[in-house]
Amino acid sequence: MTDTLILDKAVPDFQLPATSGVTFQLSQFLGKNLIIYFYPKDSTPGCTTQGIQFREAYADFQNLNTEIFGVSRDSLKSHENFKAKFSFPFELLADTEELACTLFGVMKMKNMYGKQVRGVERSTFVIDKNGTLIKEWRGVKVDGHAAEVLNFIKTI
């Protein structure tokens, strides 16, 4: 899968290992809205803040028939520790082979300490109950982002 996704088009079915011993499969969530957010690294300050903000709004998302999944290239073990430490009520998906990162087109060259490195661009995607990509945010700034996503979900 080298084509990245297009707004208002169906998202191809994919699966990834998830925390809590489950396997995420996109097609299992037809009938619900999905928020899939990509973040660079477990237990880093920005990624922790982002996860906490989604955690704090989780009940509101659930009331709107919406599930949340966080995705990074970290291992399942790293995800399990991160999820437990901050009591995230949603699953984290381990994309160690960059399957979803490639599908969603979130791998970018970034500057880190003066060096060019390839990494995940913080991005969020909303997939509606029919499996269609209906909204994307790229280059996300963490503060207030979960509230912005919640406000969008309220409109659908």
Catalytic residues, by residue number, are 47
Give me 85's structure tokens: 């430490």
Strand, helix or coil at 41?
Answer: coil
Which of 38, 40, 18 is CA-nearest to residue 29?
18
How far is CA 130 from each of CA 104, 114, 133, rounded to the nearest angstrom? 18, 43, 9
C-alpha distances out from residue 22 to 16, 48, 91, 127, Å: 9, 22, 9, 20
Euclidean distance between CA atoms 111 and 93, whole angstroms: 25
